[in-house]
Amino acid sequence: SKSNPDLLSKIYNVHYKRGRENMSSNLMKGVIDMHVHSNPDLRLRAYDDFELMEAGIRAGARGIVIKTHQGSTAERAYLCNRYNERVHGGTNDFTMFGSITLNRVVGGINPKAAETALKLGAKVVWLPTQSARNHMEKVGQDASQCAEVVRDGKIVPELSDIFQLVKDFDAVLGTAHISPKEAFIVVEEARNAGIKKIVLTHPEWWIVDMSLEDQIRMVKDYDVILERC
């Protein structure tokens, strides 16, 4: 090694690179990413739905949930899965999953919109993101136009119907961009309604901004899953 340090360096780099590749491959094998934005969207995203599907297949992922702020992706997920069947002929176990986000574009806390998406195969129901009072206040918008989830310290009546739908379809409830204070009220009522799968959406992100102490309390008291982005 002293006589040929460049050779040693090359050998090390080759083995290091292979080790990193193998580690990445093993880590991604069977993963399910529950929160990916793809095109078409009002913002330019890195992949369109089909490109995202192909990337997931290459990585060995088990599945991806497509999310949009503009409503439902259940139909888009269906088309991806049909495309996967036709192009790849059952050579992988990847599945694209749809979801719905209850922003004003679908009428806010709209049980009919949620029911339709779930019947079409959606697996996640997100509470409001860009239409959440908390989000609109944080970005300086008129919060009187928000899709409310909590009013006078209680969930809005329509949310009870959403909870029943999520329970009946055994779907996932995502808290999205609501405030930490709202999240505690919503999650407690969701648990009381019998919802088993609750995900606290990117709690450390500046819009949500939930303290570490509240995150710990949320997990301890309500057994939610914390989503990290």
State yes or no: pLDDT of 26 exceeds 90.
Answer: no
The vertex-187 CA angle with 184 and 188, nearest 5°, equals 80
User: Tokens 């998406």 belong to which residue?
Assistant: 117
In whole angstroms, give the CA distance from residue 43 to residue 39: 8
Evaluate whether 171 touches 118 at the Cβ level (below 8 Å).
Answer: yes
Which value, to the nearest 10 degrees, does the dihedral of the CA atoms of residues 14, 18, 24, 30 take? 170
What's the pLDDT score for residue 2?
47
Evaluate whether 180 touches 209 at the Cβ level (below 8 Å).
Answer: yes
Q: Indicate the pLDDT class of residue 145, thresholds 50, 70 and 90.
A: very high
Q: In sequence order, what are the residues at sequence separation of 6 or more whose Cβ sits closer than 8 angstroms to the Cβ of residue 88? A: 57
What's the pLDDT score for residue 1?
42
User: Tokens 């495309």 belong to which residue?
Assistant: 83
State yes or no: pLDDT of 112 exceeds 70.
Answer: yes
Evaluate whether 76 touches 84 at the Cβ level (below 8 Å).
Answer: no
Q: Indicate the pLDDT class of residue 25, thresholds 50, 70 and 90.
A: low
Tell me what percent of the residues of the chain surpass a pLDDT of 90: 87
What's the pLDDT score for residue 128?
98
Q: How far is CA 87 from the centre of its chain?
A: 26
User: Tokens 């899965």 belong to which residue?
Assistant: 81
State yes or no: pLDDT of 15 exceeds 80.
Answer: no
Is pLDDT larger for residue 206 or for residue 2?
206
